[in-house]
Amino acid sequence: MVKKIFNNDKALLVFFAIMVLAGPIILAPFGAGYPDLLQRFAIFGILAVGYNILFGLTGYLSFGHAAFLGVGSYSTVWMFKLLTMNIIPGIILAIIMSGLFALLIGFITLRRSGIYFSILTLAFAQMSYSLAYSVLTPITNGETGLQIRLADARILDPKNASGSLPSTNLFGLEMNDTFRTTFLGMDLQFNFGFYVCAFLLIGAFYLSIRIFRSPFGLILRAIKTNQNRLIYTGINTRPYTLAAFVISGMYAGLAGALLASMDPLAGAERMQWTESGSIVLMVILGGMGTLLGPVLGAGVIKYFEAIFSRINDNVLHEWFDFLPGFLETFMVWIVHPFVGKGWSLTLGAVFMIIVIFLPGGLMEGANRIAKWIGKITKRDNKGSAKSPLNKE
Element (H, E) at 190: strand 186-191
DSSP letters, 135-146, are TTHHHH-GGG-E
Cα-flanking dihedrals φ and ψ of residue 156, to 5°? -95, -10
Lowest mean pLDDT among 97-111, 196-210, 303-317, 366-380: 366-380
Q: What is the pLDDT of residues 167-222, one digit of tens each?
A: 999 988 899 998 888 877 778 889 999 999 999 999 999 999 999 999 999 999 99
C-alpha closest to that of 97 among 59, 130, 139, 62: 139
Q: What pLDDT is recorded for position 370? A: 79
How would you label 85-108 residue by residue, b for 16+ Cβ within 10 Å and e otherwise?
bbbebbbebbbebbbebbeebbee
DSSP-derived 3-state class of residue 252: helix
Measure the CA–CA gap between 299 and 63, rounded to whole angstroms: 20
Mean pLDDT of 370-388: 71
Q: Which residues pair with 354 in a beta bridge?
A: none
| Amino acid at site 123 | A
Mean pLDDT of 258-270: 91
DSSP letters, 16-84, are HHHHHHTHHHHHGGGT--SHHHHHHHHHHHHHHHHHHHHHHHH----S-THHHHHHHHHHHHHHHHHT-
Q: What pLDDT is recorded for position 392? A: 42
The DSSP letter of residue 3 is H
Q: What pLDDT is recorded for position 386? A: 60
Burial of 327 (0-12, 13-18, 19+ CB in 10 A): exposed
| pLDDT greater than 50 at residue 19 | yes
DSSP-derived 3-state class of residue 353: helix
